[in-house]
Amino acid sequence: MFNSAVLNLATGLIFCFLTVSLATGTIVEAIASFLTLRAKTLRVGIGQLLNDATYSGLAKQIYEHAVVSPRGSGDDASTPRKNDPAYIDRQLFGQAMLDILKISPAVAASAANPNAPLGKPTVEALKTAVDNALTDASTAKDKAPDAQLQKLLHGIIERSLGDPDKIKGELVAWFDNAMDRVSGWYKRWTQWISIIVALILAAGLNINAVEVAKTLWKQPNLVAELNLPKTLPAGSPQTGGAAPETPPPADLVIQLNKLPVGWPQGVLLDEKGDWISWGTLLLALLGWVITALSTLFGAPFWFDLLQTIIRVKGAGPSPVEKVDGKGAAA
């Protein structure tokens, strides 16, 4: 394709890894949706954030709030429900907390008093409102008010001098920090699932990275049969196995059979019909593992890398790519 064995080898391997990553991402997304992994992970994270793992206090009230669970009916949220949200908007979480902690009414009541300007009287009124809300939540759990949450909320109120907008901003920042860790949990779970799915795909379809590399090095013209365009459309697949923002050409992802993959001679037979040796089997296992591990980089990585390789001897980046900063490597 490029009159270069090295570039043809790189293109073939990258295309192979991209295809496996796309397939793996789609399967993992289907598994996550079927098992509602996002909603379950988020629920655990909210319970830990509010020190309410049993969902009998603040966490329960959050999930019963209409802005957090717009599809819910407002009924008991102490146990997981089919309509539990998979995502919670940061600003809506902050608004729900203000409502649950009775902070907004307290601010209004204090501000209505001409002898209590925004300042110390408002701070004390807000602390009292928060303490009452925490007491109500702890009564539902038959426990004392959560000291850690009380200290956190008192500190937020004091730093903001009772300004509700600043209070909401700090609640949002607190929520964001916790959700970063929840995202880390979810990513680790999906990475393990991705490895398992990719390994099953690699072994089941015999997508052996070592064998593909050997064959492409000996027969570089195989890459020309992929009919790859000189340039790929701008954009790349979204993280998590979703559909690409600007997808590759329709025939780009169905040409894997043009590479040396599959089981044309049977699962454990070589080209002559003899049983393969242990050494060959171990080498095949290594190739499957390499193929499976390639999915950890994600389809966007391989898509962008394939774009770069294809542009090496092309006409360079388009004006749009230059504006977006995607053409630096061309």
Give residue 161's domain range: 37-184
For residues 245 and 303, what is the distance between their CA atoms, to the nearest angstrom?
12
- Tell me: do 178 and 83 sit in the same domain: yes
Has residue 173 got a pLDDT over 90? Answer: yes
Contact 11, 313 (CB under 8 A): no
Whether 52 and 170 share a structural domain:
yes
- Write phi, then psi, for 50 (nearest 5 degrees): -100, 15
Check whether residue 171 and residue 41 sit in a common domain. Answer: yes
DSSP state of 21: H
Q: Mean per-residue pLDDT for 145-155? A: 89
Q: How many CB atoms lie within 10 A of CB 88?
A: 19
Q: How many domains does the chain have?
A: 2
119 and 189 share a domain?
no
134 three-class SS: helix
What one-letter code names the amino acid at 272? K
Decide if pLDDT at 243 tops 90.
no
- The answer on pLDDT for 316 being more than 80 is no
Instruction: Give whichever of 68-77, 146-155, 251-260 has the largest mean pLDDT.
Output: 146-155
**Which structure tokens are listed for 185?**
């949990």
Residue 261, in any domain of the structure: yes
Q: Tens digits of per-residue pLDDT, 175-192?
A: 999 999 998 888 888 889
Q: Do 178 and 196 have their domain in common?
A: no
Residue where a domain stops, chosen among 184, 201, 218:
184
Evaluate whether residue 329 is within a structural domain. no
Cα distance between residue 294 and residue 303, in whole Å: 12
Residue 138 main-chain phi, psi, to 5 deg:
-70, -30
pLDDT in tens, 213-227: 888 777 766 666 665
Averaged over 67-78, what is the pLDDT? 74
Which H or E element spans position 153?
helix 147-160
Are 170 and 222 found together in one domain?
Answer: no
Q: Are residues 247 and 175 part of one domain?
A: no
Query: So what's the pLDDT on residue 228?
Result: 57
143 with 237, same domain? no
8 A C-beta contact, residue 161 and residue 20: no
Per-residue pLDDT band for 328 (boundaries 50, 70, 90) equals very low
The answer to whether position 287 is within a domain reads yes
CA-wise closest residue to 307 among 287, 329, 282, 283:
329
Q: What is the mean pLDDT of the chain?
A: 76
Query: Do the Cβ atoms of 260 and 170 come closer than 8 Å?
Result: no
Q: Are 12 and 28 within one domain?
A: yes
d(CA 130, CA 167): 12
* Distance, CA of 54 to CA of 278 (rounded, Å): 52
Specify whether the CB–CB gap between 55 and 268 falls below 8 A: no
**Amino acid at position 86, single letter:** A
* 237 beta partners: 244
Q: Specify whether 155 is located in the same domain as 51.
A: yes
Residue 112 lies in a domain: yes
* Listed residues 184, 212, 247: the one ending a domain: 184
In a domain, 56, yes or no: yes
How is residue 166 written in tokens? 């600043």
278 in any annotated domain? yes
On whether both 154 and 205 belong to a single domain, the answer is no
Q: Are residues 131 and 244 in the same domain?
A: no
At which of 184, 209, 226 does a domain end? 184
| Residue 77 resides in a domain | yes
